[in-house]
Amino acid sequence: MADSVTTAPVARRRFQPFGGKAGEILLEGVYKANPVTKQVLGICIFLAVTNRVANALVMGAALTFVTAMSNLFISALRNSIPRRIRMIAQVAIIATFVIMIDQFFRGFYWSMSKQLGPYVALIITNCIVMGRAEAYAMQNPPLPSLLDGIANGIGYAIILIFISIVRELVGSGSILGFTILPAAWYTKNLIFLLAPGAFFTGGFLIWILETISPSSQSEEGGERK
C-alpha cells in the first residue's frame, strides 16, 4: 500500500505594494517627522501664504502634488540617473511638475495665481521637495516613494492650514470670507496678517507639539540602550 503523502497548504503571499509599511510611511511624514514642526523646513512659503486659509489650501495641495509626483518619477529613474548629476536631474523633474501646476493655476484659477505670486515657482527649490527626492526617492522603490511624497505634502499642508486658520481668524475675524468674530465687539489684530503673526503662531504650535512629544525623547532612549 502506497504511503499517503500529505501536502501542507501553500500560503498565498499578499501583494504589498508598499512593503507592508504604508501606515508607517504615512505616520512618519504627517506627524513623526513633520516637515515644519519636526524639521522646520519650508519656512519661506510658510510665512508668506498662511495669512489666508484659501492660500494655504491651494499651496498645500500644490506642494503635495509636486512632492508626490517628483518622488515617483525620480524613484523610477533612480538607477538610470548618474550620481554626479543627480541633483540637476532632480531639479529638472521637480521643475516640470511645478510648471504644470503653475500653468494650471494661470489657466483655471487666475485670481489665486496672482495672490500666490512667485511662491508657486519657489516650490522648485523647496527644502521639503528636494530633501525627500534625495533622501527617500533615490533610495526606495516608486510606490513607497509616491506615498512618502504624499505623506510629507499632507503633513506640510496640515500645518499651513492650521496656522492660516489662526492668523485669518485673529487677524481679520473671518475664515474663508465668513465672519466668525463680528467687528461690533472684536478688534482685529492686524499683526497676525503680517509675517510676525506666522512666527508667533508657528512658534507656539511647535512648542506645544514638542511639549507633548519631544523630538529628542527617542534619541535619548536609544543612547541609554
Tell me which H or E stretch contains 156.
helix 142-172
Report the distance separating Cα 53 and Cα 44, nearest Å: 17
Strands 174-175 and 178-179: antiparallel
Contact call for residues 98 and 124 (beta carbons, < 8 A): yes
Report the distance separating Cα 173 and Cα 35, nearest Å: 28
Q: Residue for cell digits 538610470?
A: 80
Q: Residue for cell digits 524639521?
A: 39
pLDDT value for 153: 93
Per-residue confidence band for 120, with pLDDT thresholds at 50, 70 and 90: confident
pLDDT value for 38: 84
Per-residue confidence band for 225, with pLDDT thresholds at 50, 70 and 90: very low
In terms of pLDDT, which residue wins out, 218 or 119? 119
pLDDT digit string (tens) for 160-173?
999 999 999 998 88
Separation in Å, CA 91 to CA 40, 42, 71, 78, 208: 21, 16, 11, 13, 35
Q: How far apart are the first and last CA of the chain?
A: 61
User: What mean pLDDT, rounded, does the chain reach?
Assistant: 84
pTM as predicted: 0.82
Instruction: State mean pLDDT over 103-121.
Output: 87
Is the pLDDT at 60 greater than 50? The verdict is yes
Contact call for residues 58 and 110 (beta carbons, < 8 A): no
Per-residue confidence band for 10, with pLDDT thresholds at 50, 70 and 90: very low
Residue 141 neighbours by CB under 8 Å, 6+ apart: 19, 75
pLDDT digit string (tens) for 136-165?
999 999 999 999 999 999 999 999 999 999
pLDDT value for 20: 60
C-alpha 65: how far from its chain's center?
9
Per-residue confidence band for 69, with pLDDT thresholds at 50, 70 and 90: very high
